[in-house]
Amino acid sequence: MARVSYETNKQQEKTPMPELDPGARAKCFDEVACGYSAEDAINEARRCIQCPKAPCMDGCPVGVPIPQFIEQVAHGNFAEAYALVKDANALPAICGRVCPQETQCEGVCTRSRKGEPVGIGRLERFVADWAMENGVASDSADAAQQPEKDLVGKRVAIVGSGPASLTCAGELAKRGCAVRVFEALHKAGGVLTYGIPEFRLPKDLVESEVSQLAEQGVEFEMNALVGKLYSIDELMDERGFDAVFVGTGAGLPSYLGIEGEGFNGVMTANELLTRVNLMKGYLFPDYDTPVYAGKKCVVSGGGNVAMDAARTALRLGAEVHVVYRRSMEEMPARAEEIHHAQEEGVIFDLLCNPVRVIGNEDGWVTGVECIRMELGEPDASGRRRPVPVEGSEYVIDADMMVIAIGSKTNPLIAQTTPGLEVTSRNLVIADEETGATSKPGVFAGGDTVIGAATVILAMGAGKRAAAGIAQYLLEK
């Protein structure tokens, strides 16, 4: 496609993204960011200077042709822009909302040398939303990549339906493989469905992206827990799959290991978010999934999941304190999510750490004992290590506590798959470029391999694994 110049918009700041009022949105689960209008999108796209080296491309794990799609947006060619994005990214509406662009494509944008980077994520979201609203989303199934003759009829089983699995499934379907996704729960999407709140990622968008894969021929088998209902060997030996991709994510919650974690009113972020998202607990009693929120909630953690849990508890009616053992500068959550939480009224108790959960004789939490921290020398993560301040203990009154300190890989697949090598943390050992594991015909990627990370990194792994599976099948 020939490059067509346009007059560059020289404004140094991003075109603002309209948002719901903080006071109003803190009482509902409507999406916070309202998205660009066509005029906003064109205005922002014209901030791109179309630099020859395009460093943004190097920062994209799935290889979206960023300058090319932005150029089409700048000229108002939204359908062409969407086709470019969709050919590289199976889940553009999702990535435009939850991908940490600030540390990837936007983090290396040339425009950021003088002002803010181009809003690449906002533009990706716009073209995906525009395609859905205008009924052209399904047209993306007419991918430029034609099915490969030698792959047609080859059967691939995908274990799990999170971002790595959905990406792998879509790529293999485009190549001509017969793909079947096995999902343990009753809804597809993995963490996209049960782990990210409605106000950040509306579930109808996830369902729409999944339905497009179904239109490409990907089959979905729900309520199918691989490792219990079927083993990996049974999928290959008895059900006739030529290859298997394992993308089961990292959904096993971690605990603090402190006294009192067993009191009623203490839960992990996984439990809270699953009840609210997957089981529509926020619509109780219309949906019969009661969610205990309490009146005063303490959330332990500083990542994106902690922000999601805190903002969810807030919407369920609790006063929320986020307790984090480092300072705001070390907090791993996206700056945007922290900012939104502060706007909505979440209280941040920084440089303190829970040491004990206090409860009453009825077994319910009544408070969280914390200790003040100070920052010492950097640890293995590069962040300054928090050190307890002796004698600084204090209690936060609470009738609910949410533990959001990370998650681990479920050991079920490792325990039921002979010949599959895993680490001491039950992470599947797989080749970084192809996803190949120690077991012939079995591939893996995403959080299953690297531990809890981001949606876009999982998608990148799924895309690479699809190429690896295709090569394996062709050689086989």
For residue 139, give every residue at least 6 positions away whose Cβ sits within 8 Å of its Cβ, in sequence order, or none: 83, 131
Determine the Cα–Cα distance for residues 355 and 41; give it in Å rounded to an integer.
Answer: 48
Backbone angles phi, psi at 134, to 5 degrees: -105, 10
Whole-number pLDDT of residue 383: 81
Do the bridges between strand 155-159 and strand 178-182 make them parallel or antiparallel, or are there none, so unpaired?
A: parallel
Q: Do the domains spanning 22-141 and 254-407 agree at the CATH topology level? A: no
Whole-number pLDDT of residue 246: 98
Which of 235, 209, 233 has the alpha carbon at shortest distance from 221? Answer: 235
Rg (CA), the chain: 23
Whole-number pLDDT of residue 142: 47
Determine the Cα–Cα distance for residues 412 and 228; give it in Å rounded to an integer.
Answer: 8
Whole-number pLDDT of residue 141: 42
Whole-number pLDDT of residue 147: 81
Q: What is the largest CA-CA distance in the chain?
A: 74
Q: How many residues are present in the chain?
A: 476
Cα-based distances in Å from 27 to 91, 270, 374 = 29, 21, 35
What CATH superfamily is the domain 254-407?
A: FAD/NAD(P)-binding domain (3.50.50.60)
What would the CATH number be for the domain defined by 22-141? Answer: 1.10.1060.10
Whole-number pLDDT of residue 144: 53
Could you tell me the residue ranges of all domains in the chain?
Answer: 22-141, 149-251+409-475, 254-407
Whole-number pLDDT of residue 442: 98
Number of CB atoms found within 10 A of residue 439's CB: 19
Whole-number pLDDT of residue 140: 47
Q: How many Å separate Cα 473 from the centre of its chain?
A: 29
Cα-based distances in Å from 250 to 156, 157, 190, 195, 275 = 22, 19, 10, 11, 18
Topology given in CATH for the domain delimited by 149-251+409-475: FAD/NAD(P)-binding domain (3.50.50)
List the chain pLDDT tens, one digit each, 476 residues.
Answer: 556 678 888 899 999 999 999 999 999 999 999 999 999 999 999 999 999 999 999 989 999 999 999 999 999 999 999 999 999 999 999 999 999 999 999 999 999 998 999 999 999 999 999 999 998 855 444 445 678 888 999 999 999 999 999 999 999 999 999 999 999 999 999 999 999 999 999 999 999 999 999 999 999 999 999 999 999 999 999 999 999 999 999 989 999 999 999 999 999 999 999 999 988 888 877 888 888 889 999 999 999 999 999 999 999 999 999 999 999 999 999 999 999 999 999 999 999 999 999 999 999 999 999 999 999 988 887 888 999 999 999 999 999 999 999 999 999 999 999 999 999 999 999 999 999 999 999 999 999 999 989 999 999 999 999 999 999 999 98
Determine the Cα–Cα distance for residues 12 and 119; give it in Å rounded to an integer.
Answer: 11
Full 3-state SS string of 142-206: CCCCCCCHHHCCCEEEEECCCHHHHHHHHHHHHHCCEEEEECCCCCCCCHHHHCCCCCCCCHHHH
